[in-house]
Amino acid sequence: MEAMKTSGLPDQSPTMKMEAIGWMKEAMKRGCLPDPSLVMKEDGGDRRWMKEAMKRATKSKPHDLPPTPFALPIVGHLHLLSGIPHQSFHKLSLRYGPIIHLYLGSQPCILASSPEIVKQLLKTNENSFLNRPEISAIDYLTYGSKDFSFAPYGPYWKFMKKIVMSQLLNGPTLDLLRPVRRDEIERFIWLLLRKSRGGIAVDVDAELIKLANNVISRMVMGGRCSEGENEAGKMRRLVTEVVEITGTLNVSDYVWFCKDVDLQGFGKKLKDIRRRVDELIDRIIEEHEEMRKEKKVEVKDLLHILLDIEEDESMEIKLSRENIKAFILFKPERFEENQLDVRGQHFHMLPFGSGRRMCPGMSLALHVVHATLGAMIQCFEWKAVGKDGRNLASLDMEEGIGMTLPRANPLVCVPVARLDPIPLSI
């Protein structure tokens, strides 16, 4: 299982960190941790490595193990993870140190929560952590992990990585689609200006998600996903539901004898979400195929590039329709920034991950985040308001559940234009 990344947490004491790094080095030297190169590059190699590590660890003396809290039979440490998982991990790391071994049900897992340990796992021993955890909700929504993000590390992932870096998210394609991003940011700023003239509060979260969805769907599928409020609402709900269900811990994924039991009632919900996703994407693919037949494609969006690759007989791997559909399901964005370099070199803060499986959409995301934030700050002052419309003295920063770490409650603000009209040239 991939190491949990708990970036952005307060540091543990230097002694704890030194002990933890010492533990990993010593364990490798004494053979308590297997050699990652024996299982690397194989499907499921990281899980095999982790299981082997745990097997050796249980045979070795207790001081060879990283610390672990008391485990219960069957559930292991699952009972310690209530509510929002990363908050529980944070509490555990403060108590037990920057490297902990845990059992999530029957799945062995390492929790790493200091930059030094994360570097050991994601850089020094990268080959052992190239696969993602198996999450049944994601597997179902991606037609059996046929996408790129959750595909096991192997020939298909390597093929897709090459295509993504050379054709889909490379500099020239991003440049070609710059007018789309500029247009969407301009529409966003005009909307804020209208609200500002009327002194009307804006749900900043909702508007930013709408903007991100519009940018992504225009770049990927050539059309806005919020043309008509009805369609926009449907899309937003769908995205929120996908984030929520994929970010909730599913007991059946971890406790072996619950594997086929739908304890949390996910099955019905998932079927419904996938049916709606299918309808939406099938319709968009049909429209694209129609345009291709009629030779009406002027600027190629990412879906057209994928359809070209599907038709290209010379490709070493044949893309299936399900591969394409699973690929174009994109995750909503997290708009965050930090003074640190966020490009995977500083292990204190890894919003895009690090190493071979780090985010290939990082340049695109940073273009959009910087331009949007810049425009929001340069053009407006922001007054946060509560439900009753009164100005708030401080912001509610409570975290919600979901893979993208959403806010628990929306940020609602009244924008105040610094200049009116705004001279736009983004």
Interface residues with ligand HEM (CB under 6 A)? Answer: 148-149, 169, 330, 333-334, 351-354, 357-361, 364-365, 369
Which residue's CB is nearer to ligand HEM, number 280 or number 364? 364
Q: How far is the CB of 175 from ligand HEM (least distance, A)?
A: 15
Which residue's CB is nearer to ligand HEM, number 393 or number 397? 397
Q: What does DSSP say about strands 107-112 and 99-104: parallel, antiparallel, or unpaired?
A: antiparallel
Q: How far is the CB of 402 from ligand HEM (least distance, A)?
A: 13
> How far apart (Å, rounded) are the C-alpha atoms in residues 406 and 278?
25
The residue with tokens 């970010």 is 247
Which residue's CB is nearer to ligand HEM, number 148 or number 266? 148
Q: How far is the CB of 211 from ligand HEM (least distance, A)?
A: 12
Q: How far is the CB of 273 from ligand HEM (least distance, A)?
A: 20
Contact criterion met (CB below 8 Å) for 412 and 385: yes
Q: How far is the CB of 209 from ligand HEM (least distance, A)?
A: 12
Q: What is the biggest distance separating any 2 CA atoms in the chain, rounded to whole angstroms?
A: 72
Half-sphere exposure of 335 (CA within 13 A, CB side): 20
Q: Identify any residues that bridge with 133 across adjacent strands, giving them in sequence order.
A: none
Q: How far apart are the first and last CA of the chain?
A: 43
Q: How far is the CB of 156 from ligand HEM (least distance, A)?
A: 11
Q: How far is the CB of 101 from ligand HEM (least distance, A)?
A: 20
Contact criterion met (CB below 8 Å) for 58 and 31: no
> How far apart (Å, rounded) are the C-alpha atoms in residues 166 and 163?
5
Q: How far is the CB of 394 from ligand HEM (least distance, A)?
A: 25
Q: Compute the Cα dihedral for 238, 240, 241, 245 and give only its sign.
A: positive
> How far apart (Å, rounded) are the C-alpha atoms in residues 122 and 374?
32
Amino acid at residue number 272: D
Which residue's CB is nearer to ligand HEM, number 174 or number 297? 174
Q: How far is the CB of 174 from ligand HEM (least distance, A)?
A: 10
Which residue's CB is nearer to ligand HEM, number 273 or number 349? 349
